[in-house]
């Protein structure tokens, strides 16, 4: 029996009895019970509810006048414009830094070069060989025939020039003739373009000897022969070698290292050691 009074079942039973007694007192209108429930239960709950409603009302009530809100909107719009302008300036500076870095890399590898950095400012949609206009001209020392390149390799040459701009004919054009050599094998030839190859972004290396030992993947550079282009400017790599159907001689398809069709900034080589001199070493 002693275990029953201390057990869990007895505690549950007593709890139920107490609840019934409280309900009975309230139902009978007992003033003490009513006072207990009002003071200790209902009043705190009402205060919590009233406080919640007041907080919600305060949140919905605007703390600023319409005039103040308009001024705030104007200020934020002005800040947004300032940030947009700073972002544009940031991208301009970043582009200039990248161009200067490329210029420095080319100059450091070719200390004898006199270089003029230039940006592409126009492309003729009727130009089949992706020629373009650059923003440097005679006032910057640019002359017809000057080689045009990037840090990736040869792009073309200056074919027309005015005081403040020049027209560049790319290596994709049939008008281009560049003495070239395969670095690995020392086999020589002439780089030029065709309409078909220009659409593919490739050029041809012609005048290869039948005894050449060139292979796919070999690197092709300028030979420097004739003094028109500096020696050892990268041009591209061999994609394939086939026999020319007209001459019966080997022809290599060269994939330029630079994306000629989309290039946006270049350097113009206005002077270099050996310019205008014929290289008789080959």
pLDDT of residue 126: 86
CA 60 to chain CA centroid, nearest Å: 46
Tens-place pLDDT, residues 163-205: 999 999 999 999 999 999 999 999 999 999 999 999 999 999 9
pLDDT of residue 169: 97
d(CA 176, CA 194): 10
pLDDT of residue 7: 57
d(CA 146, CA 45): 90
CB atoms within 10 A of CB 239: 13
Contact 102, 152 (CB under 8 A): no
Tens-place pLDDT, residues 32-78: 544 544 454 445 545 544 554 454 445 445 567 888 888 888 888 88
Rounded to two decimals, what is the model's pTM?
0.66
d(CA 12, CA 133): 95
Contact 129, 194 (CB under 8 A): no
pLDDT of residue 161: 98
Average pLDDT, the chain: 81
pLDDT of residue 88: 73
d(CA 174, CA 195): 8
All domains of the chain, ordered by start, with CATH?
110-271 (2.40.10.350)
Tens-place pLDDT, residues 219-270: 999 999 889 999 999 999 999 999 888 888 899 999 999 999 999 999 999 9
CA 202 to chain CA centroid, nearest Å: 25
Q: In percent, how much of the chain has pLDDT > 70? A: 71
Q: Are strands 153-161 and 178-182 parallel, antiparallel or unpaired?
A: unpaired
Cα dihedral across residues 189, 191, 196, 197: positive or negative: positive
Q: In percent, how much of the chain has pLDDT > 90? A: 51
């Amino acid at each position: 029996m002693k275990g029953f009074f201390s057990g869990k079942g007895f505690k549950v039973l007593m709890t139920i009895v107490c609840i019934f007694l409280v309900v009975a007192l309230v139902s009978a209108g007992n003033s003490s019970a009513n006072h207990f429930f009002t003071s200790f239960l209902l009043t705190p709950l009402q205060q919590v509810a009233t406080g919640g409603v007041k907080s919600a009302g305060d949140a919905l009530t605007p703390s600023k006048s319409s005039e103040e809100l308009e001024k705030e909107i104007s200020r934020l719009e002005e800040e947004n414009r300032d940030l947009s302008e700073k972002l544009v300036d940031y991208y301009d500076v970043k582009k200039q830094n990248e161009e200067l870095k490329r210029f420095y890399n080319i100059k450091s590898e070719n200390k004898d070069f006199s270089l003029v950095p230039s940006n592409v400012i126009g492309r003729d949609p009727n130009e089949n060989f992706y020629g373009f206009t650059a923003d440097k001209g005679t006032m910057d020392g640019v002359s017809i025939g000057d080689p045009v390149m990037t840090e990736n390799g040869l792009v073309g040459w200056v074919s027309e020039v005015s005081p403040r701009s020049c027209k560049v004919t790319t290596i994709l054009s049939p008008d281009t003739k560049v003495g070239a050599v395969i670095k690995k094998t020392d086999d020589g030839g002439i780089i030029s373009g065709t309409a078909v190859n220009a659409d593919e972004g490739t050029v041809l290396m012609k005048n290869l000897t039948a005894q050449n030992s060139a292979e796919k993947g070999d690197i092709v550079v300028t030979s420097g022969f004739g003094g028109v282009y500096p020696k050892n400017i990268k041009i591209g790599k061999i994609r394939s070698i086939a026999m020319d159907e007209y001459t019966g001689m080997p022809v290599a398809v060269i994939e330029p290292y630079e994306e000629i069709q989309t290039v946006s900034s270049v350097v113009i080589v206005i002077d270099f050691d050996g310019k205008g001199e014929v290289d008789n070493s080959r």
